[in-house]
């Protein structure tokens, strides 16, 4: 069904649609914003990979070994 899903003429049609929808004036700004977003995404993904050195925070446990009893207040 989608054996040859993306051929060169598909890209040409998509480019023409973008030019018609956004106009030639907005395309450079749109491409610049897309590039900036991709750089931010790439740097954040790289930062997440390098954050493995930080130890995960364990949930707080009571010191006595017993479960803390909830405090009930009446009004």
The per-residue pLDDT for range 5-51, each reduced to its tens digit, is 778 888 899 888 888 887 878 888 888 999 999 999 999 999 988 87
The more confidently predicted of residues 7 and 72 is 7
How many domains does the chain contain in total?
1
Assess if residue 61 is contained within a domain: no
Determine the structural domain holding residue 41 and report its residue range. Answer: 25-51
Concatenated DSSP letters for 14-59?
Answer: HHHHHHHHHHHHHHHHHHHHHHHHHHHHHHHHHHHHHGGGSPPPPP
Assess if residue 11 is contained within a domain: no
For the chain, the average pLDDT equals: 77
pLDDT at 51: 76
| pTM recorded for the entire structure | 0.43
Which residue, among 2, 29, 5, has the nearest Cα to 18 in the 3D structure? 29
């Amino acid at each position: 069904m989608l054996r040859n899903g993306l051929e060169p003429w598909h890209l040409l049609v998509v480019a023409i649609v973008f030019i018609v929808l956004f106009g030639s004036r907005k395309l450079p700004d749109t491409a610049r914003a897309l590039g900036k977003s991709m750089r931010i995404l790439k740097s954040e993904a790289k930062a997440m990979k390098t954050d493995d050195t930080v130890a995960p925070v364990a949930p707080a446990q009571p010191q006595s070994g017993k479960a803390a009893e909830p405090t009930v207040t009446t009004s």
